[in-house]
Structure formats: structure tokens, C-alpha cells
Amino acid sequence: MGLEPKGDPTTANEAQAVCARLHAAGYRLRPLIDAAEFAAQRRELARCIIPIAESRGTPEAPLLP
């Protein structure tokens, strides 16, 4: 497709904030969530997903802490 990978600014603190919001909303979470690993995986996967979304005129899915 000729698309260049892009960065995702998700941090471990943002991922932890999302987990806290989910917990406060009543979602049951696994007891040991590694927010840093989640953020790292999201950054890695988003590198390809963001340019595809942009090429289709669709905004990326933001992480809403």
C-alpha cells in the first residue's frame, strides 16, 4: 500500500488511567494488568493501523483516559 508507519503516543500512565476508569465503571479487570506492556503493544500495533485509517479518511481510535 506504500503507507509509512506512524507513532502512537500512548503511555503507561494513560493505560493505567483507562483501567481505573473501567474499574470505576464496574468492569471486572484481571488482577495484574501491566499498563506499560499494554501501552507498548498498542504503540506497536497502532504504527500500522493509524496510516491505514488515515488513508481511508477515518480517524484513529484514541485511547481516552
Report pLDDT digits (tens) over 3-62.
Answer: 888 888 889 999 999 999 999 999 999 888 899 999 999 999 888 888 898 899 998 777
Question: H or E stretch including 23?
Answer: helix 12-24
* Average pLDDT over all residues of the chain: 89
Cβ–Cβ < 8 Å for 2, 55: no
Q: Is the pLDDT of residue 63 over 90?
A: no
In this prediction, residue 1 has a pLDDT band, given cuts at 50, 70 and 90, of confident
Report CA torsion sign: 53, 55, 59, 63. Answer: positive
Q: What is the domain partition of the chain in residue ranges?
A: 12-55
Check residue 65 and give its pLDDT.
66
Q: Which residues of 47-58 are buried (b: 16+ CB within 10 A; e: fewer)?
A: eeebbeeeeeee
For residues 10 and 59, give the distance between their C-alpha atoms in angstroms, rounded to a whole number.
Answer: 16
